[in-house]
């Protein structure tokens, strides 16, 4: 089972279908044919193939083709490319960490004012420009404590900095 939420996120991003995770889980257990995946997941063979192709396109699955000497049919045996997944995931997490750090700096370096009618919140400068009145409804803008938002960003940061795991994640344990 993939219990790392960031890997799940990444697979959803690549495959963009609910069925992506179960297919990847099959691959992670070892080399397998598309027919076997369909059997194990109870998914349609076409769905499995479509997902495998997307994974192949992203470089996190590869296949070997072999011909059955009796039936002359081709068999496709699929393999999970854990190192590539690790690479993609670390790059993605680095980008998210950068964004979160920018967001955190913005929250920490600004004071915010909000309208109690639920309209947008404003930085000090924006609020001052509007004489501390909401531009939408002219209600008085009030100081808004953003320490909870800061806390949430810090937690997200920790998650992505550790690649989604409390203990540094070992991808190779899957292959």
Which range in 28-36, 133-141, 142-150, 151-159 contacts Zn ion by CB under 5 A?
Answer: 133-141
What mask of x and - would describe binding to Zn ion in positions 93 to 132, judged by CB under 5 A?
----------------------x-x-x-------------
Identity of the residue, 112 or 160, whose beta carbon is nearer to Zn ion in the bound complex: 112
What mask of x and - would describe binding to Zn ion in positions 35 to 74, judged by CB under 5 A?
----------------------------------------
User: What's the min distance (Å) between Cβ of 115 and Zn ion?
Assistant: 3
Encode burial over 56-78: b for 16+ CB neighbours within 10 A, e otherwise. eebebbbbeeeeeeeeeeeeeeb
Q: What share of the chain is helix, strand, coil (3-state, %, to 5)?
A: 55, 15, 30
Interface with Zn ion (CB under 5 A), residue from 107, 139, 142, 161: 139
Which range in 2-10, 52-60, 137-145, 147-155 contacts Zn ion by CB under 5 A?
Answer: 137-145
Going through 29-134 in order, the beta strands assigned E by DSSP cover 32-33, 61-67, 74-80, 112-115, 121-123
What SS3 class is residue 171?
helix
CA dist 84 and 81 (Å) reads 6
Count the residues of the shown chain that bind Zn ion, applying the rule CB under 5 A.
7
User: What's the min distance (Å) between Cβ of 116 and Zn ion?
Assistant: 8
Interface with Zn ion (CB under 5 A), residue from 83, 102, 136, 145: 136
User: To 10 degrees, the CA torsion angle through 140, 120, 150, 132?
Assistant: -30
**137 binding Zn ion? (CB under 5 A):** yes
CA dist 47 and 24 (Å) reads 13
Q: Tell me whether strands 112-115 and 121-123 are parallel, antiparallel or unpaired.
A: antiparallel
> In the complex, which residues of this chain contact Zn ion (CB under 5 A)?
115, 117, 119, 134, 136-137, 139
């Amino acid at each position: 089972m993939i219990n790392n939420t960031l890997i799940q996120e990444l697979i959803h991003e690549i495959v963009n279908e609910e069925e992506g995770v179960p297919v990847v889980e099959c691959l992670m257990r070892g080399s397998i044919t598309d027919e076997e995946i369909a059997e194990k997941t109870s998914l349609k063979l076409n769905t499995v193939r479509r997902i495998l192709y997307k994974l192949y396109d992203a470089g996190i699955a590869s296949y070997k083709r072999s011909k059955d000497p009796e039936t002359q049919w081709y068999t496709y045996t699929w393999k999970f490319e854990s190192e590539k997944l690790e690479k993609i995931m670390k790059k993605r997490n680095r980008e998210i960490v950068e964004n979160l750090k920018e967001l955190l700096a913005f929250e920490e370096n600004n004071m915010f004012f909000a309208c109690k009618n639920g309209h947008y919140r404003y930085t000090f400068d924006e609020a001052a420009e509007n004489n501390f009145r909401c531009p939408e409804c002219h209600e008085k803008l009030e100081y808004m404590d953003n320490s909870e938002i800061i806390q949430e960003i810090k937690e997200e940061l920790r998650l992505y900095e550790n690649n989604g795991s409390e203990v540094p994640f070992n991808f190779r344990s899957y292959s």
